[in-house]
A and B are shown apart, each in its own frame.
Chain A
């Protein structure tokens, strides 16, 4: 086993460039270190990001975006009054991730990079139109989060790149909603989760645990953007079917996921529409 300890971000990127295929960035460790005694071996190599914590943890509000840093944790968002007030879905999702011990250690970047289809941080960030900032010694690129994933646990991130920031645009939103369905309120991996927003760019409907990656439900979004009405659960289910492909696994079944998701969205969107009609 090997653990490399960088002295700063540039050093971290240089180490990744040099040893890319044999080094795994280690942030909060809440995915990587589960059952560690059973997985540690001579082959493991970590790039320990903890020395960068002091400089790369605090979220900050810029003129046009909220910037979550490389090591911003869920608790950093929960504890920041200005962030949780302006981005209530980030708060809602953070409070649903594990419990306080996981929220203190787990990072938003780690949640994105880990690439689980059940990630709870990803739907809300995607619904807010977040961009992922990837940096390596070769330079920096910004990728919209909804174009970050290529397939199950696959992404556009090259092995020498770190997620150095997540930029969440500051937009006026007319509606925003997040709902997670788990076996209990806390400390449970999603059976499914859904985030919905509407701002000047249109609707975003983002779901987890019903496809190989967290996905946008584009057909439903288009329907809503064109002013289409929400008429029945069946209609929502049909629109969802273009974008989701739920499976049976230990946490739930494909049928449960499909019906609960269509119903949740039906009732939420009906309510949101009524509010619009009345307001």
Chain B
């Protein structure tokens, strides 16, 4: 099987690993870089559990070949600050946790780009992250909490 050397700026650090050519970014993160926070739900781009920030945009890492991320900046749930997690936790954003890493990454991106909510509602914005446990209200209040904090700071 063919392999190649993948270099990423992963959570702020430059890293290189030899990985299989057929790997998705999701596989490379979990199996080669050992960052198992990012989850696979559907493998079809529907559920958002595998969301990471690739070159500063939220994408489903199950729909990206690792090769396509060569040289790019990648941020995963492991780089989330304790304060952000504390805020999200306050409202029951997470129950079983399967969807949580993806939710956290989409929410973090939104906090950096809050003007997005001029174009759509928070519920609509989060529609690429499915959750089977919370019924979403807990998720949305957690993100509102996070957004309030950012607003307070700026």
A interface residues, Cβ below 8 angstroms from B: 1, 3, 5, 26, 28-30, 33-37, 40, 46, 48, 50-51, 75, 78, 91, 95, 98-102, 104-105, 184-187
Contacts and interface: CB of A to CB of B under 8 A. Distances in A.
- Residues of B contacting A: mostly: mixed
Given A30-B45, A98-B45, A101-B59, A187 B64 contact: no
Interface of B: 2, 21-22, 24, 43-46, 48, 51, 54, 57-60, 62-65, 67-70, 106, 109, 119-120, 124-129
Contacts of B126: 99
Contact of A5 (B54, B67, B120): B67
Contact of A187 (B21, B43, B59, B128): B128
A188 to B, nearest CB: 9
Given A36-B43, A105-B60, A187-B128, 16 more contacts: A1-B2, A5-B67, A34-B63, A36-B22, A36-B24, A37-B24, A50-B70, A95-B119, A95-B120, A98-B45, A98-B128, A100-B125, A101-B45, A101-B60, A102-B45, A104-B57
B63 A186 contact: no
Contacts, number: 93
Contacts of B119: 78, 91, 95
A104 B58 contact: yes
B124 A186 contact: yes
Contacts of B109: 100
A170 to B, nearest CB: 22
Contact of B68 (A29, A91, A95): A29
